[in-house]
Amino acid sequence: MTISDYRSALVTGASAGIGAAVVADLCSRGLTVHAVARREDRLEALAAATGCATHVLDVRDTTAMDDLFGSLGVDVLVNNAGVGRAIQSLPDADPVDIDQTIATNVTAALHAVRSVLGPMIERGRGHIVNVGSVAGLYPLLSGVYGASKGAIHLMSTNLRLELAGTGVRVTEICSGRVRTEFYDAAIDDPDLRDRFKETGITEITSKDVATSITYA
């Protein structure tokens, strides 16, 4: 069963980039999609374009998130919300950035999964999609962001063991450089971007990642 075979989905970090592309793709396949993000104006535009349901929420507010996510009873969770600088060593990291990165990329993701799992297990079907990164698999001079995505990788592998036999699937998507607003903000060094170009490996798009998610 692929994600497009389910009836409903919840996507975090849905106001732009990969999240918005996933919402659009799932809506086009007939799913009822709940889009969650902080930016109300972006969500309104997304709803007008796709017909998704919108929820203005900061996923770092785990109490509000637990209440909302637990009430929706969705078949699919796409854990996409994320922040951080993709290229930043730990000695150079700002303490506030560290806390925000872990709160958004790790703590919120754990709470999101816990909130939706009960109904999925009761129904005997569901799909958890965690948006990870190659930065969580290999050393890439990204001490804070990489650590947060490394946590997502281990959460995903552990969940597969914990949910074996329940009918709930777990997928982790680990992309490299994706041309998004997040990428533009995370890698803001023109010289570094030029060096990336010299490798001959171009960035993929949000739609590319969305397609891989809906295929999963």
Convert 126-157 to b/e letters by CB count within 10 Å (16 or more is b): bbbbbbbbebbeeebebbbbbbbbbbbbebbe
pLDDT at position 159 over 60: yes
Least reliable range by pLDDT among 123-132, 157-166, 193-202 = 193-202
CA distance 18 to 105: 15
Q: What is the CATH number of the domain that holds 117?
A: 3.40.50.720
Give the model's confidence band at 204: pLDDT under 50 very low, under 70 low, under 90 confident, else very high: low
- 182 occurs within a structural domain: no
- At residue 172, the pLDDT reads 96
- 93 occurs within a structural domain: yes
Averaged confidence pLDDT in the chain: 87
- 181 occurs within a structural domain: no
The two structure tokens encoding residue 29: 């396949």
Q: Nearest 5°: phi and psi at 171?
A: -125, 140
pLDDT tens digit sequence for 135-152 = 767 777 778 888 999 999
Tell me whether residue 215 is one of the annotated catalytic residues: no
**H/E run at residue 209:** helix 206-215
pLDDT tens digit sequence for 78-125 = 999 988 765 667 888 889 989 999 999 999 999 999 999 999 999 999
From 138, 145, 183, 215, the catalytic residue? 145
- 191 occurs within a structural domain: no
* Residue indicated by tokens 């930043």: 88
Number of domains in the chain: 1
Q: Determine contact, residues 10/76, Cβ cutoff 8 Å.
A: yes
- 73 occurs within a structural domain: yes
- 188 occurs within a structural domain: no
Write out the residue range of the structural domain in which residue 13 sits: 3-175+207-215
* Residue indicated by tokens 């409903």: 8
- 180 occurs within a structural domain: no
- 189 occurs within a structural domain: no
- At residue 213, the pLDDT reads 87
pLDDT at position 180 over 60: no
